[in-house]
Amino acid sequence: MIAFLILVALICWALKRNQRKQIRPPANGIPDRDLERLVAELRSLS
């Protein structure tokens, strides 16, 4: 039971960490191509 709770806690921690990394813009100055593609698609639809 304790091992299961530790596993759940580690999974939650990893998901939160991944979410924080995705919210911040890339620090290395490389443009996000997925974001550029999404913006271009949205502009073409309107």
For 6, the domain range is 1-27
Using CA atoms, how far residue 8 sits from 18, 20, 42, 45, in Å, is 15, 19, 38, 42
Q: What is the per-residue pLDDT across 17-37, written as a single tens digit (0 to 9) for each?
A: 888 877 766 666 777 788 889
Please give the pLDDT value at position 21: 74
| C-alpha span between 14 and 5 (Å, rounded) | 14
Please give the pLDDT value at position 35: 83
Q: Is residue 19 part of a domain?
A: yes
- Number of domains, the chain: 1
Please give the pLDDT value at position 4: 93
Q: Is residue 44 part of a domain?
A: no
18-37 burial: b if 16+ Cβ within 10 Å, else e: eeeeeeeeeeeeeeeeeeee
Please give the pLDDT value at position 27: 63
Please give the pLDDT value at position 12: 93
Please give the pLDDT value at position 13: 93
Q: Is residue 43 part of a domain?
A: no
Q: Is residue 38 part of a domain?
A: no
